[in-house]
Amino acid sequence: MFTFHKSTSSLRRGRTFAQRIPKGGFPWGFSYLLLFLSVLPSCSTILEDRTSCPCILTIFSDAKKKDVTENGLTINVYRRNGEAVTRKKVRNIDLDSRWSYSVAVPRENLLNSSLSGVREEKITEDNTCIKIDYGKECDSLFMHLSDVDCHGEWARDTVLLRKQWCTLRIILEEGEPNVNYRFIVHGNWDGTLLSSLDPTYGLFSCTARTLQWNIFEARIPRQGDNSLNVDLEVEDLNGNCTTVLKGYPIGLDIDDIGYDWSKSDLDDIEVTLTYGSAEFLLSTLPYYNGQDYGDVEF
């Protein structure tokens, strides 16, 4: 006689998937495994060719407040051929803390040209250079230029502003307080190329500001040669104006004493001019920190 026994293991094998779910749901580890399996097919995108995707360029500003004027900070990004990629204007109020700006750019070597101290209308329509109006002195222009490798997915650069003008201070000795003196500065360089910081060729002329009856100042742009020259006009009490010095080549003297127009931060120049019967003494030296460039007579 045979006795039939029910197999409990067969019943367990016969349960449906829903019947196998433990009370309270799956344990956490199993849930994470299901999530991983569900997204695994999409991870194949890691192997895709992403060279056609743009690079994300992040530009940080460590600009000091003294170097940023009320005109704020302007970020310009260019291709190596000078073609503009993007421009961003930052208010100086936004520079109180560490500031950054991110933008999608082509995957290539790009130029970050950032500036402060000039109004937007001074930048040419093609966004390539800054021009100085004839008859006016140079703006208090600070600029940054760097070559940024943007071939990867991410790139970064930090703005470090550099002084792009020279203040020419003229001190007149042995003059007459009741006489009006006027110094006029002329040159052949009238602006700055944004993609290289090189000076742009064009006529420049400005009348130096009178600080006191015998102290004068004029901001002049970076020079590409030694063609800078100065006129001195004298106006008497009757309003009669006489040019006592015409086209003096002060650029040659500045060049002879070793002034460097290619420095990242341009030095200022102080000129002491002794007004005499037949001799002027020109003494040039940096307006602040720098080497003494010596004396030149003319």
Q: Specify the pLDDT at position 97.
A: 58
Maximal CA-CA distance, the chain: 149
pLDDT-derived band at 8, boundaries 50, 70, 90 = very low
Domain covering 165-297: architecture: Sandwich (2.60)
| Helix (H) / strand (E) containing 55 | strand 55-61
Asked if residues 284 and 253 have their Cβ atoms less than 8 Å apart, the reply is: yes
> Tokens 């063609």 label which residue?
227
Please tell me the distance from the alpha carbon of residue 181 to that of residue 279, in angstroms, as a whole number: 17
> Tokens 């006029």 label which residue?
184
| Helix (H) / strand (E) containing 38 | helix 28-39
pLDDT-derived band at 9, boundaries 50, 70, 90 = very low
pLDDT-derived band at 226, boundaries 50, 70, 90 = very high
Long-range contacts of 247-254 (CB under 8 A, 24+ apart): 247/186, 248/298, 250/282, 251/187, 251/223, 251/225, 251/226, 251/227, 252/226, 253/282, 253/284, 253/296, 253/298, 254/226, 254/228, 254/284
Per-residue pLDDT reduced to its tens digit, 40-61? 444 344 556 666 799 999 988 7
Selected residue with higher pLDDT from 69 and 247 = 247
Please tell me the distance from the alpha carbon of residue 110 to that of residue 118, in angstroms, as a whole number: 23
Distance of CA 240 to the CA centre of its chain: 45
- Decide whether 55-163 matches 165-297 in CATH topology: yes
- Of 64-68, 155-159, 267-271, 272-276, where does the model show the most confidence? 155-159
Selected residue with higher pLDDT from 119 and 74 = 74
Share of the chain above pLDDT 70, in %: 69
Bridge-partner residues for 144, per DSSP?
Answer: 114
Selected residue with higher pLDDT from 12 and 86 = 86
The dihedral of CA 20, 25, 26, 32: what is its sign?
positive
Query: pLDDT at residue 208 above 50?
Result: yes
What CATH number belongs to 55-163?
Answer: 2.60.40.2100
Please tell me the distance from the alpha carbon of residue 79 to that of residue 61, in angstroms, as a whole number: 21
Per-residue pLDDT reduced to its tens digit, 16-41? 444 444 555 545 455 544 444 444 44
Q: Specify the pLDDT at position 214.
A: 93
Please tell me the distance from the alpha carbon of residue 110 to that of residue 287, in angstroms, as a whole number: 35
What letters, b where the CB count within 10 A reaches 16 and e where it falls short, cover 253-266? bbbebebebeeeeb
Please tell me the distance from the alpha carbon of residue 15 to that of residue 168, in angstroms, as a whole number: 96
Q: Where are the domains of the chain?
A: 55-163, 165-297
Mean pLDDT, the chain, rounded, equals 78
Residue 254 tokens, joined = 């500045």
pTM, whole model, 2 decimals? Answer: 0.73
